[in-house]
Structure 1
Amino acid sequence: MELLIDNKDGNLWDLSEIVSEITWSTYRIGKPASLEFTIVDRGIYQDKGFKLNNGDVVRYTDEGHKVFYGYIFKISEGREEEIEILAYDQIRYLMNSGTYVFSKLTATQVVQKIAKDMQLKTGTLENSAYVIPSQIRDNKTFIDMICMALDETLINNGTNFVFYDDFGSLSLRNIAGMRFPLVIGDDSLMTDYSYSRSIDDETYNQIVLYRDNKETGKRETYVTKDSATIKKWGLLQLYESVDENLNQAQINEQLAQLLFAKNRESRSLSVEALGDYRLRAGCYVNLYIKKMSINKFFLVETCTHKKSDGVHTMDLELRLV
């Protein structure tokens, strides 16, 4: 394990021997990865010139994996000789807000444009293919702009991408190519789990799309629904605006895609397991639990790795796909 701090003034510090606990957390949508760790201040081997500043570079590698590259955003200390550090990767800088008008760009091109303007480093950016007719993003965070472009790609093209920072390089990958190579479950890494089914979050059985007709001054609405699940669950309606440049066939396709994606229970699993740094939010993982007759692939929504006293564990929030 190696944990390095770069003060950006020519000083590079190795904290590997004085760190007591490390937590690396990743999220599939809308958040930067974080690294939290605790070090013992005034340790016996500490150099008197050692210092920590917000903005310092943090680099963490372990078990042969390049785990995290980011920047310190919070330093907490008190009377005890411990200092708690919180660092984020580049995506933290995409939480700034601004205004963009994109015309006929793919989600990949949106990422490239924003990253260039924000002077952020990019790595593998796979082609998302779907050209979004127009995107007006007024006073939105840059990460929200990217997520909205990815949502439109999923709705209209059926392809799901994950956007993340890969050890200092912004990356965009089709989740179809992000399968964890091992099964997690009975007799394989898993130590505990909990399972839930819900219609309380992102479940809809009636989709209403609307747009304002500038010529008539009236609002036009387009509706699709599933009467069977309305009878079963009650009416759960999603009401959203639709691009004014879409024709009737394109609107019907968007309605069908939204109903297909939203008209279902959300099923999630929380899993505790022995850690493997190859697994992060956005990956597919095959989960096998004989007691519940589960042997399926799940999408990792959040993934939290912890390293304490040499023991590496991970907590996963999974969504059935």
Structure 2
Amino acid sequence: MNMEFLVEVNGQIYEISELVKSVSYTDKLNDGCSKLEFSYIDDDLRIQNGSVVRFRYDEANIFYGYVFKHDQNKQKEITVTAYDQLRYCKAKDTIVVKNDTIDSLVRKMCNYFNLKVGTLASTGYKLPTSVQDDKTWLDIIYTAISDTLMNTGKWYCLRDEFGSIAVRDLEELQLDLVLGDESLVYDFEYEKSIDDNFYNQIKIVSDNEATGKRDVYITRDSGSIAKYGLLQYFEVLDKNYNPAQAKAKADALLRLYNREVETLELSCLGDVRVRAGNSFFGQIEDINLNRRLIVRSVTHKFIPVHTMSLEVML
């Protein structure tokens, strides 16, 4: 195990890898900042909120961020929680979206919070003009990612890459990695559900300024309704949608939501390359799994050995 653990306190940098008793790193796909939780035995070093933390493992960059919480017990063990830069983007504001793409919005966000910009994929799709009021910057960008996926079929993720904010095309995050029956996995849990995020009828309404009425667009799968019962998704669109766009969105939502939701959690030996948004090839015979999977969330634990728990998208 080759671990480098640096903290900066009051301008001084300390290497504390010999003091650290536990390390856990958690990352989720388009769901806030990544988190590093660790504990160490007090050796006259008192980490403070705002301290910078840099963690590398087996020469791989794992985490760069800032301390937001710390506590101590009677045994002088100090427990610390640090987040990456995206933690600051939970702030609410009023933001005008006009002639923007995902990457241009991210640049605006980084400029506002004085964050370092990393690799920003050029997404191309111009988002609908809107005024986003009392929303967090993260929520606005995640909505932009969802809108871009619906309209282009291209999926992106926002993440902090060791101190730089990045937008990545998920196709670029495919790993040459197999996880399954004979490769690193030692346990799994698998579930199929129609309880959440399953819809076989899509109903979209849009205000028609010309007629003063609401236009209604419905698309459905009769076979699915006969099998599972009617499960409806409903949304009110803003006035910037024309009839063709509204119908296209309804059709896209039905394609997205009209299938059983499968969840799979894997417990594996660790691989430092695995982050939320990365994908790998999964092979588990018991559930007839033999295809590429996207990581929805991952938690790495590094002491005493490196293991990881994954939730993947099926």
TM-score when normalising by structure 1: 0.94
Q: What are the within-5 Å matches in structure 2 for residues 127-138 of structure 1?
A: 127-138=122-133
Q: What are the within-5 Å matches in structure 2 for residues 267-282 of structure 1?
A: 267-282=262-277
Instruction: Provide, for residues 54-110 of structure 1, a one-character-per-residue CA deviation record: whole Å limited to 9, x for no partner.
Output: 011000001110000000000011212201000000111111111111112111111
Q: Is the 8 A contact 1:266 1:319 kept in 2?
A: no
**Aligned match of 2:312 in 298, 301, 318?**
318
* Structure 2 equivalent of residue 202 of structure 1: 197
TM-score when normalising by structure 2: 0.96
Q: Is the 8 A contact 1:65 1:277 kept in 2?
A: yes
Instruction: Tell me the distance in 2 between the aligned counterparts of 1:280 and 1:317.
Output: 11
Instruction: Tell me the distance in 1 between the aligned counterparts of 2:264 and 2:161.
Output: 25
* Structure 2 equivalent of residue 32 of structure 1: 33
Amino acid at match of 2:307: T
| 1:247 to 1:214, Cα distance in 2 relative to 1, 3 A | closer
Identity over the aligned pairs, expressed in percent?
39
**Aligned match of 2:188 in 189, 193, 209?**
193
1:218 aligns with 2:219: no
Instruction: Tell me the distance in 2 between the aligned counterparts of 1:319 and 1:153.
Output: 19
Q: Is the 8 A contact 2:265 2:309 kept in 1?
A: yes
1:153 aligns with 2:148: yes
Q: What are the within-5 Å matches in structure 2 for residues 236-255 of structure 1?
A: 236-255=231-250
Instruction: Tell me the distance in 2 between the aligned counterparts of 1:268 and 1:217.
Output: 44
Q: Is the 8 A contact 1:186 1:290 kept in 2?
A: yes
Instruction: Tell me the distance in 1 between the aligned counterparts of 2:105 and 2:30.
Output: 16
TM-superposed deviation, 1:151: 0.3
TM-superposed deviation, 1:200: 1.4
Instruction: Provide, for residues 32-52 of structure 1, a one-character-per-residue CA deviation record: whole Å limited to 9, x for no partner.
Output: 1000001011xxxx3x4x321
* Structure 2 equivalent of residue 180 of structure 1: 175
Q: Is the 8 A contact 1:205 1:235 kept in 2?
A: yes
Instruction: Tell me the distance in 2 between the aligned counterparts of 1:52 and 1:221.
Output: 57
1:168 aligns with 2:168: no
1:143 aligns with 2:141: no
Amino acid at match of 1:312: H
Q: Is the 8 A contact 2:206 2:241 kept in 1?
A: no
Give secondary structure in 2 for the equivalent of 1:133: coil
Q: What are the within-5 Å matches in structure 2 for residues 276-315 of structure 1?
A: 276-309=271-304, 311-315=305-309
